[in-house]
Structure 1
Amino acid sequence: MLNVGTTPIRTVHPRPSAAVQLACFPHAGGSADAFTALAGALSADVETLTVQYPGRRERAAHPCATDIAALAAEAAGHLASRLDRPLYLLGHSMGALVAFETARLLERAGAVAGVFVSAARPPGDDWAEPDLDAMDDAAVVAELRRLGGVPEALLAEADVVEEILRLLRADHRALRGYTCPPGATLRAPVTVLLAGADSKNSAEQVRGWARHTTGGCDTVLLSGGHFAVLAPGSEAGVVLADRLRPAPAGLVRAIYLAGLGGGTPRLTTDLTALEDLARPVLTPDTLGYLVGDAGAGETGRANRAAYNRRPLLPRMLRGADRRDLSVTVLGRRLPAPVLLAPVAAQTLVHPEGELASIRGAADAGVPFVLSTNASYTLEEAAAAAGPQPRWFQLYLPNERALAESLVRRAERAGYSAIVLTVDAPTFGYRPTDLDRGYLPFLHGAGIANFTADPVFRAGLPDDPDDRAVLQHWARVFANPGLNWEDLPWLRSVTSLPILLKGILHPADARLALDQGAVDGLIVSNHGGRQLDGSVAALDALPAVRAAVGDAVPILTDSGIRTGSDVLKALALGADAVLLGRPYLYGLALDGRAGVAHVLRCLLADLDLAMALSGCTRIADVTADLLAPT
């Protein structure tokens, strides 16, 4: 082990209360300063540590390391005392090997939460690095220019170039002398960050990282070249911010610790109690619209009953100390199998409406689906979301030009899927609304996407008053003639994935796929708000999954209130779920913070439910987790 006196660990922004730590290992010739931009892109929940190799900056008086093992041993010796909080490692290029070997050493003392590797081939492969000692200075500088890691202004300074070459050649000697021990693996999951224009590494070359972990391995593609991860504004900041979120179950620990000082949550953690708490803060019209079901409410009650009559049958002694809630849907990784369901006219509930819900979802790391009938435009919603994944729910209007305009706007605003709702070609029979004669859209709520649309506005008379706008909306919105022939047309106007929301019958599921226009399904009865007496969504789920096979993404909603509910839906074949009414109650009670609270509680409940059921990842949640009925 190196014993050079000065600690190699730098803390970029000391955050002793941060939930997680990220230790960053630089590339050959690089220093701890390489990660300054990346550290600035991470949230206050992350304390960023950088490793300074000997021979540079404040450690310039110490000789450079002669091998990777020495660098890893030194780093591990200093990081071993930091395992009281989740610790992730990130290594760039040569630093990936140092991070890998450091993680191997740390796993002898405790758990490493995860390892990120960038611009690096697997440790067991030949990196085919040239012998820089055999190359003249001009050739090495030419290679630096090709990779783009050093600003041209610095390459014009002779003394700077001399120092860079000194460090680079020394580190390359250590790199070329590295040999991965046979069968070396980590327990921690590994995420490979691969830049599409990296001239040194390809997807094929980095694929072998999966051989070096038993915790799972995935690859995230970034734009840019070999040094993309270190560039200001890099997509890597978004990726890491997503992956470094504290474990959802940490919420429970935080609440109990706050309780030592007399603190309690602002809102209840019982998501089934939120409706009763929200009732006093909602107007009678809004309450009726939000909680009202179709007809006598049989479908709404059936949705909850379907979850209640399916008990879990947990397994024990499975070593579920670390859980991974992430899933991949439509080719994109989601941090958990939960999205916000589309709900119309949310300004009825809170002045900031959908914008507060979207920001609350982002705080909890949950994507959202925006309703066609939002109170803010899809462009305003996208601006509030930032890099957060988002889908656009489409009620197909009866004018195709208007439908195409809405879809094109969604594409331009960065929505990554279209959710075509097919179970509401007309409004259901809802006594709570009918008895009050109240429909929010006719009072101007939830029609922002229409009034902002150029095709919709082209159909209005000159200088229209509110009545003319609402009459035009009423003419174009309802589409009782919606049929299977509309799907190929919708497919022809967008390349985005299309999911059908509102499928319950397995024959309809097969028809949807036979059309060749659909990429996924959402098993839903609209939360019981459309056809009273219909089957519960959870009861319909297994037959729909059986009808389409395992390869088709299937989501579900309607009646979900707890983490155990999510677990049951996944066990019966869902890839993810959509949460509806509970987050609206959170919105009513505490705005953005209320939405985030509801989602964090749901994810904590799901995380603990997985632990208590013996599941370490979503793939472990299968039908045998449910007791026979």
Structure 2
Amino acid sequence: MLNVENTPIRTVHPRPAAPARLACFPHAGGSADAFTALAAALAASVATSFAADVETLTFQYPGRRERAAQPCATDIAALAAEAAGALSSRLDRPLYLLGHSMGALVAFETARLLESEGTVTGVFVSAARPPGDDWAEPDLDTMDDAAVIAELRRLGGVPEALLAEADVVAEILRLLRADHRALRRYACPPGATLRAPVTVLLADADPKNSPEQVGRWARHTTGGCDTVLLSGGHFALLAPGSTAAAILADRMRPAPAGLVRDIYLAGLGGSTPRLTTDLTALEDLARPVLTPAALGYVTGDAGTGETGRANRAAYTRRRLLPRMLRGADRRDLSVTVLGQRLPVPVLLAPVAAQTLVHPDGELASIRGAADAGVPFVLSTCASHSLEEAAAAAGPQPRWFQLYLPGDRALAESLVRRAERHGYSAIVLTVDAPTFGYRPTDLDRGYLPFLHGAGIANFTADPVFRAALPHNHDTRAVLQHWAEVFANPGLNWDDLPWLRTVTSLPILLKGILHPADARRALDQGAVDGLIVSNHGGRQLDGSVAALDALPAVRAAVGDAVPILTDSGVRTGSDVVKALALGADAVLLGRPYLYGLALDGRAGVAHVLRCLLADLDLALALTGCTRIADVTTDLLGDA
């Protein structure tokens, strides 16, 4: 549905109740119609797991379509002034600007004008060098038509069928030359910057722009800048089926703290959340809905439970020392880990055999995480294969946790499958070469894997299946699994071998001792570490993961990515872990309780509550971004 208004702004797929707006600016020679496919994909995304409910606006430059009678603009500043005037009445909700190619300069200048009277939440720029660079555009007025058309073909922005129609070509050339005059006249004011964060969308086969060039957009914002790669050429953003809609929708999610406002507003009508917002109370609520075996497996710790208690005590013992009057009205929760942008500093920890908790198991957890904008780490011992998990995830960032089996051919097969299905890191768990002593499981004689739960990645693997006897039965499958899964001989020599198998980043999960951290990095086979004691499920009496974190960070320096888990329950816990040196945290049991209580919706609820708590904790400690969280936010332990 298109609403052509008596302004330069069109409203595409009107959504008057949408919590945010996206205003789009076309390329040289282009019109507002260029964003038709992208706007449709964004509208459709409302019904998907990566939903961001936005109303898409497109800016129609003068001289085309319904504005054909008006002369084309003579400079970028004139276009920006007109756009800012039309958008100034639409700052009542978060406003994002998106500019493609020349449109990126229009969006930049429009944002500069709007920031003088309000807030621009974010700016997206596509296929464009930064405004301070010389774009080195040719003078199209001195080029003949054939040369200009050849350049159009090189960039791929116009279907070949249209280039065969003389009247269409004439109109394209008229607009393109006019817009290029404005583009060539543009000069970025010295020191021009935005407060809004900038996201650069760069196609991997764009002949006009390189990562080095677009990286200089960072000079033009104080709100942070990152680059996201798209597949395709110069017009990848606008191509039907592009992943751009998912990327944009993820970046335009409402601030997590908005959940608090929404709950209070719903309370005016008598509604309350289906599940508690106190994530420390979830275990007690989940107990009645879990079978005794599932409850024992999920909640059970090693031995006396001393390590599990120490994990929580370590968080409780530390106190935050907030800073005031620092203008933290807008917070950016995104982080970059292993060169990958993550929307939040939280990932779902790998948890095995989740069908014990809910029939949909990992698939429900993954979809719930996507609903909340949280990446995940899939366990080797999942109840659904890594292929099924990837299909459920869609564009969601994902890593694969590896228990290195004794059979190296099987290990390589698992890693190769993860590579093929979009997992962007391998998390090698090193603190579980054998099962810990867990009385809650032992007293029931219950191990889920021997009952067929949590072995889907093995039974789906060609190497595993090839080793099974002919006409095998379930017992033979389980026996073979038991033979290849245990690997008590796991040692440092396995790391260089794993490095030869994959080019993906490798993180070691289960590191607590600083000497192990140094050795892992000295080998050159590891890219990051996860400080963890397996949530207290392996070694009774172990040091708390949070207590081990500062020494591990000190041992490897600031450049090495470090994550942590084991005991995280609240947004303040996340801040404490970040302040002590973590780049991100993994959340385990709480989302399992949400899964048990309400499936996918329960997982999403738990994560939204955690992120709302984190968002507010950042605001209340005076932080506008994750990098602001440093040790000076902690008082004495």
Whether TM-score is above 0.5 comes out as yes
Q: State whether residues 117 and 192 of structure 1, in contact with CA within 8 Å, keep that contact through their aligned partners in structure 2.
A: yes
Q: CA RMSD for the aligned pairs?
A: 1.5
Q: Could you say which residue in structure 1 is the equivalent of 2:71? A: 63
Residue in structure 1 matching 2:272, options 257, 264, 271: 264
Deviates more, 1:188-197 or 1:556-565: 188-197
Q: 8 Å contact 2:5–2:11 — kept in the other structure?
A: no
Q: Does 1:77 align with 2:85?
A: yes
Shift of 1:559: 0.3
Deviation of 1:409 after TM superposition, in Å, equals: 1.6
Structure 1 stretches of 4+ with a deviation exceeding 3 A read none
Alpha-carbon distance, 1:496 to partner? 1.5
| Counterpart residue number, 2:515 | 507
Name the structure 1 match of 2:315. 307
The answer on whether the counterparts of 1:423 and 1:530 sit within 8 Å (CA) in structure 2 is yes
How far off is 1:612 after superposition?
0.4
Q: Distance in 2 between matches of 1:216 and 1:28?
A: 27
Summarize the alignment of residues 123-272 of structure 1 with structure 2, pairs less than 5 Å apart: 123-272=131-280
The equivalent position to 1:429 in structure 2, one of 421, 425, 437, is 437
Q: Please, which runs of 5 or more residues in structure 1 have no aligned partner?
A: none
User: C-alpha distance in 1, partners of 2:493/2:222?
Assistant: 47
Gaps of 5+ in 2: 47-52
Please point out which of 317, 320, 327 is paired with 2:325.
317
- How far does residue 510 in structure 1 lie from its aligned partner after superposition? 1.1
Structure 1 pair 527–27 and aligned structure 2 pair: CA distance change class (3 A): same
Q: Report whether the alignment pairs 1:608 with 2:616.
A: yes
Determine the C-alpha separation between the residues in 1 that align with 2:213 and 2:205. Answer: 14
CA contact 1:499–1:518 (8 Å) conserved in 2: yes
2:125 to 117, 120, 124: 117
Matched, 1:12 2:12: yes
Give the aligned partner of residue 557 of structure 1: 565
Distance in 2 between the 1:550 and 1:429 partners?
35
Residue correspondence of structure 1 range 221-620 to structure 2 within 5 A: 221-620=229-628
1:505-541, Cα deviation, whole Å (9 max, x unpaired): 1111111112221111110000001101100000000
Give the partner amino acid of 2:570: T
Task: Tell me how far apart the structure 2 counterparts of residues 5 and 224 of structure 1 sit (CA, whole Å).
Answer: 33
> Which residue identity does 1:347 align to in structure 2?
T
Q: Distance in 1 between matches of 2:209 and 2:490?
A: 49
Quote the offset at 1:97 in angstroms: 1.2
Q: What are the superposed Cα offsets for residues 354-412 of structure 1, whole Å, 9 maximum, x if unpaired?
A: 01111111111111111111111111111111121111111111222222221222122
Q: Measured at CA, do residues 499 and 134 of structure 1 come closer, stay the same or move farther in structure 2, by a change above 3 Å?
A: same
**Residue 345 and residue 235 in structure 1: after superposition, are their counterparts in 2 closer, same or farther (change >3 A)?**
same
* 1:195 to 1:286, Cα distance in 2 relative to 1, 3 A: same
User: How far apart are the structure 1 equivalents of 2:408 and 2:548?
Assistant: 31
Quick one: percent identity of the two aligned structures? 89
Deviation (angstroms), 1:126: 2.3
Which residue, out of 621, 626, 629, partners 2:634? 626
Task: Point out the more displaced range, 442-451 or 605-614.
Answer: 442-451
CA contact (8 A) 1:6 1:59 kept: no
Corresponding letter in the other structure for 2:456: A
**TM-score w.r.t. structure 1 length?**
0.97
Matched AA of 2:405: P
The 8 Å contact of residues 511 and 529 in structure 2, kept in 1 or not, is answered as yes
User: 1:6 Cα shift?
Assistant: 2.8
Per the TM alignment, residue 5 of structure 1 is displaced from its structure 2 partner at its CA by: 9.2
Give 3-state SS (helix, strand or coil) of 1:41's partner: helix
Rate the CA distance shift 1:199–1:477 in 2: closer, same or farther, 3 A.
Answer: closer
Which string of whole-angstrom CA distances, capped at 9 and with x for unpartnered residues, describes residues 328-368 of structure 1?
A: 11111000111000000000100000011111111111111
1:49 matched to 2:57? The reply is yes
TM-score (normalizing by structure 2): 0.96
Q: Indicate the larger mover: 536-545 or 176-185.
A: 176-185
Q: How far apart are the structure 1 equivalents of 2:251 and 2:548?
A: 33
Q: How many equivalent pairs are there? A: 626
Measure the CA separation in 2 of the matches of 1:20 and 1:349: 36
485-494 or 200-209, which deviates more: 200-209
- Hey, what does 2:30 align to over in structure 1? 30
